[in-house]
């Protein structure tokens, strides 16, 4: 039997995945590209330069007690080598706090020829060497985002097959180099479709991803899945309760992802802060459907929106901004246990059409 290069990392990969989704913990997705964080800064009238990006990320990683609710942080490459204003490396702070460093490794999307604007994610070339470098720097997990759309003839079989294959290749390469892969098949909420249409589309996508992971012999106990929740389209006139969203979401996952996978860490996908937390809470309160995996969060906007609003790029606002970030981390931590009482997050929609990182 041919040995797998990832075998030397097997126990570490499993331990990393379990540590990230241990009860009461989730992920801070702070892997916004330079362009994307610029759009966030535009909203608060802060210039998008290296120092402001460094200062904002210092605010996050030095928040008091955030490590009581956040187990891992996904970073953009720039952040890996950044330091506090006093010269302390962010990675050193994370190590002291017990927060596992992660890294975004995809290179964005390109259009698939012959489709209605559907995309495939790039970044496989050179991925092994990049993963090796990130592991040496201290990272222990990675993230790759695939983006699919719902619409006329979408998601197409071509787009599903292409993205599922790339997610599985990425996962295999990460594991060979010691990084626990977060597999992110995001079916965008854009559109007028109903929740039933979303569920059917996501079943097709998630099943294809699961099949590709099996074909690539990915160590399932050493990965995490980062899917969207099952929601009506952003322009759909129907509304659903958190309990209904929870039911459709868990049913879809139970039909597609096997129980050997230790955890599902949901993306927030432009939901409001409060909505993202309420839905996660309802998902963890659901008892009528089997869910063998831990159900947690990997939120970006839904953890940071109030924090950014409080900060406004001003040193004197850092403490207030950190308190806002901690409040969202605590609320989502409670939601992973089904114990969120509600009412601490903003209800403003954070949806951006055709969202890119």
Element (H, E) at 134: helix 127-137
C-alpha–C-alpha distance, residues 86 and 122, integer Å: 37
Is 348 a residue of the active site?
no
- Would you state the structure tokens that stand for residue 349, as one six-digit string? 């929609």
Given the structure tokens 């890294």, which residue do they identify? Answer: 103
Is 226 a residue of the active site?
yes
Catalytic entry in 143, 149, 226, 330: 226
Helix locations, 255-356, DSSP H: 273-285, 301-311, 318-336
Single out the residue of 70, 154, 162 nearest to residue 109, CA to CA: 162
Q: Which residues contact 173 (CB under 8 A, 6 or more apart)?
A: 124, 127, 128, 131
Catalytic entry in 32, 184, 186, 273: 184
List, in sequence order, every residue forming a beta bridge with 185; answer none if it has no partner.
146
Exposure b/e, 298-325, CB count within 10 A at least 16 = b: bbbbbbbbbbbbbbeeeeebbebbbebb
Q: Which residues contact 129 (CB under 8 A, 6 or more apart)?
A: none
Between β-strands 109-111 and 263-266, what pairing exists: parallel, antiparallel or unpaired? unpaired
SS3 call for 322? helix
C-alpha–C-alpha distance, residues 222 and 8, integer Å: 13
Q: Which residues are catalytic?
A: 184, 226
């Amino acid at each position: 039997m041919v040995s797998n290069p990832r075998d030397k990392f097997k126990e570490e990969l499993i331990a990393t995945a379990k540590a990230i989704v241990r009860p009461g913990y989730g992920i801070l997705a702070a892997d916004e590209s330079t362009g994307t964080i610029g759009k966030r800064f535009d909203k608060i009238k802060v210039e998008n330069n290296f120092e402001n990006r460094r200062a904002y990320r210092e605010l996050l990683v030095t928040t008091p007690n955030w490590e009581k609710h956040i187990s891992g942080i996904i970073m953009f490459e720039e952040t890996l080598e950044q330091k506090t204003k006093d010269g302390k490396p962010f990675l050193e702070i994370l190590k002291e706090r017990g927060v596992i460093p992660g890294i975004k490794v995809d290179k964005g999307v390109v259009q698939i020829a012959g489709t209605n604007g559907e995309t495939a994610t790039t970044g496989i070339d050179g991925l092994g060497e990049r993963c090796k470098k990130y592991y040496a720097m201290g990272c222990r997990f990675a993230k790759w985002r695939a983006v699919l759309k719902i619409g006329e003839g979408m998601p197409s079989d071509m787009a599903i097959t292409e993205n599922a294959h790339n997610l599985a290749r990425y996962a295999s390469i990460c594991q060979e180099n010691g990084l626990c892969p977060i597999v992110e098949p995001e079916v965008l909420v854009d559109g007028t479709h109903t929740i039933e249409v979303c569920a059917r589309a996501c079943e097709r996508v998630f099943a294809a991803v699961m099949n590709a992971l099996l074909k690539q012999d990915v160590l399932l106990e050493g990965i995490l899945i980062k899917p969207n929740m099952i929601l009506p389209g952003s322009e759909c006139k129907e509304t659903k309760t958190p309990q209904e969203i929870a039911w459709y979401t868990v049913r879809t996952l139970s039909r597609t992802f096997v129980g050997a996978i230790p955890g599902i860490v949901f993306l927030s996908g432009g939901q409001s802060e409060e909505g993202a937390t309420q839905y996660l809470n309802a998902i963890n309160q659901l008892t009528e459907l089997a869910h063998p995996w831990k159900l947690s969060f990997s939120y970006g906007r839904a953890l940071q929106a109030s924090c950014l609003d409080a900060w406004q790029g001003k040193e004197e606002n850092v403490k207030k901004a950190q308190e806002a970030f901690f409040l969202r981390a605590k609320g989502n931590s409670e939601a992973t246990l089904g114990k969120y009482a509600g009412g601490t997050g903003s209800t403003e929609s954070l949806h951006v059409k055709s969202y890119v990182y």
